């Protein structure tokens, strides 16, 4: 049907729609099946508001990444991008500060370096997906470990052009 990319691990699949949801092991298996079928994967991870407030953001992200790190071969990661989507920011209008987002992205990159490989950590694209909009895109995208934005519903609004305009023209 012409699909190239698939998003796997989104919070609404992990928990939502009145269902128990997909655990991290199932998400990892789906990532592997998609890659083996020739698709590229946007692998979504992120914490809930209470997990952010409890200081367990990094633990949550690591627990969501770990099953994939065990299942995927190093070459598989060439076709994976990681989307850090703080669940508390999706569609709420709330967003992590650029510093908060950078701190989490840097942790994810370090985790990948220690648990997959340094080469994968340097190459993998880690995108921010928590209510990026025109007002915050430039500051978020200026962070060294934020490689782009995964824009959902906001892409349907005129403000999306302000997000696009927030991308550095130097690259």
Spatial distance between the Cα atoms of 46 and 7, rounded to a whole number of angstroms: 14
Spatial distance between the Cα atoms of 63 and 60, rounded to a whole number of angstroms: 5
Q: Which helix (H) or strand (E) holds 67?
A: helix 57-71
Catalytic residues: 10, 85
Nearest partner of 112 among 125, 121, 122, judged by Cα: 121
What's 42's DSSP letter?
E
Q: How far is the CA of 151 from the CAs of 24, 160, 163, in angstroms?
A: 23, 8, 9
Side-chain-side CA neighbours of residue 80 (13 Å):
29
């Amino acid at each position: 049907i012409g699909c190239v990319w698939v998003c796997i691990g989104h919070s609404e699949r992990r928990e939502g729609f009145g269902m128990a949801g997909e655990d991290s092991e199932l998400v990892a298996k789906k990532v592997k099946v998609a890659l083996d079928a020739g698709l590229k994967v946007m692998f979504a991870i992120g914490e809930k508001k209470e997990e952010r407030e409890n200081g367990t953001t990094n633990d949550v992200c690591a627990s969501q990444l770990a099953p994939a790190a065990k299942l995927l071969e190093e070459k598989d990661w060439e076709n994976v991008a990681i989307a850090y989507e703080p669940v508390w920011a999706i569609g709420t209008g709330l967003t992590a500060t650029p510093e908060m987002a950078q701190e989490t992205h840097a942790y994810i990159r370090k985790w990948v370096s220690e648990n997959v490989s340094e080469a994968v950590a340097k190459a993998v694209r880690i995108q921010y997906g928590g209510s990026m909009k025109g007002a915050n895109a430039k500051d978020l995208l200026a962070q060294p470990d934020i490689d782009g934005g995964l824009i959902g519903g906001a892409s349907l609004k005129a403000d999306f052009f302000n997000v696009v305009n927030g991308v550095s023209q130097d690259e």
